[in-house]
Amino acid sequence: MAEPETELMLRIKGGDRAAFEELYALYRKPLANFLYRLCWNRTLSEDLLQEVFLRVWRAAPGYEPASKVTTYLFKIAHNLFLNEAARRREKIVADAEPESRDDPASEYHRREIREAVRKAVEALPEGERECIVLSEFHGFKYAEIAGILGIPEGTVKSRMFSAVQHLREGLKGLEPRP
């Protein structure tokens, strides 16, 4: 028996709009977060998200369950991001979103940490950033990341190791406060 998401994709392949809406509801947030963490721009990530689902709908008649649906969806999102980045050829940076908390000093420190982490992740080379985002923010295993990015699993491991070293160095002066 196929996974529930595969069953949804097969129903979508047959033109089932309710199945498409269900798939959208399941993957809208994870894909939006993934895209946002790649480009750090809410508007752009939302535009790319809509394009992901538009492509899924358009490609559905030719869908064949060769890999997990999550891999399929995140690969489409990744490719769209790469295409957009190639078109822009400049660094994409967005303002951090402030949150309100009761303690202004601790909220300031949390924002300071969040901004430092964002900048450190943003400063990573693109391949390392993609691996870190998929692993740490979305919980994908190395084999799944390899499938999404279309690279060998050993390359994922190498990029993760290098990314962690870069992040350690970039966040060296950041100390937690009680």
**Domains of the chain with CATH codes:** 1-94 (1.10.1740.10), 96-178 (1.10.10.10)
Measured from the Cβ of residue 122, the count of other Cβ atoms closer than 10 Å reads 17
**Whether pTM exceeds 0.75:** no
**Alpha-carbon span 107 to 87, nearest angstrom:** 37
pLDDT in 10s for each residue of the chain, 178 residues: 568 889 999 999 999 999 999 999 999 999 999 999 888 888 888 999 999 999 999 999 988 888 889 989 998 998 888 877 766 544 333 333 444 445 666 777 777 887 888 888 888 898 999 898 888 877 888 988 998 888 999 999 999 999 989 988 888 877 655 4
Beta-carbon contacts of residue 92 (< 8 Å; ≥ 6 apart): 39, 40, 41, 44, 85
Best CA proximity match to 155, nearest among 175, 176, 125: 125
Residue 28 tokens, joined: 């809208």
